[in-house]
Amino acid sequence: MMGKQTKALKQHGALVLAFVTWALLGLAAGGNFYDECDATWEPQNCWAYDDGNRLSLALVSNSSGSMIRSKRQFVYGTVSTMIQLVPGDSAGTVTTYYTSSLGDNQDEIDFEFLGNETGQPYTIHTNVYVNGVGNKEMQFKPWFDPTADYHNYTISWTPCMIVWYIDGTPIRVFRNYQASHGVVFPTSQPMHVYSSIWAAEDWATQGGRVKTDWSKAPFVANYHGINLDVCECYDGDCVTGCTAKFSDGDRYCRLSDDQVGQMRLVQDKNRIYNYCVDPKQWTNGQVPVECSLLQF
């Protein structure tokens, strides 16, 4: 198996070396991923090409995947990338695109793509963590083949709300009801944006029933372009300014009527899990407060 993995990765050896060298030295090479990201986990399993405009991340074993992280930290903004997910039998693999602060009590906004057996659809998993606590999952089945071509995945984080988009269509909103109803919301911890691929065969595919076929490794996810329209922030002193920058009510605090209609259609037809209707995710048997409030 390792011989097969090594052969596949050697085809990109020079590009892997170039990306690792630039990433570790913190230098810019004139392309989006070179400019914006560092390789922070198993850098030998990722490679950038097309002048840094494209990137591939590989999972080669159950303990060796890959991760990149943005050089910039920010409080509020919009981050997006184009991803082509692992084709074929991707059971047990997880490809991610998310934002997260540093430390144990992290704030985090997730896109996770859970692989499946050949011919079965991926699961698109979304979640929000505040101070290390999540349990706000929603999951969707894609209405397209995410392995056949690139699709745009966007996270918009403002003081008013978080919105997850796929190809410009909003699929979920999580509004800021912290002041009015005590619902925790990420407001103060600067985040990085991350992309990774890793092994989770104990839970990722049909609750762990379907395991990874490691004879098909390496599993490779491809990325095209990364766009960060964010308010850079590296300590608490800059949070106030970032909040002011992203507080325009019309631009950052509401979806259009058309967008609301698009989101409702996706949720009606493609949402397969909602923590709001799962008592196992409730605290003291109580429906989460935000579930009864407006979420668009």
Report the catalytic residues: 108, 112
Cβ neighbours, 10 Å, residue 287: 14
Task: For residue 9, give both structure tokens.
Answer: 């990765």
Q: Which residue type occupies 87?
A: P
Measured CA to CA, the distance from residue 175 to residue 295 in angstroms comes to: 6
Residue (of 222, 186, 227) closest to 100 by Cα position: 186
Residues 6+ apart with CB under 8 A from 172: 126, 138, 163, 164, 263, 267, 295
3-state secondary structure 156-196: EECCCEEEEEECCEEEEEEECCHHHHCCCCCCCCCEEEEEE
192-199/161-166 β-pairing = unpaired
- 250 half-sphere exposure, CB direction, 13 A CA radius: 0
93-100/74-84 β-pairing = unpaired
66-70/54-59 β-pairing = unpaired
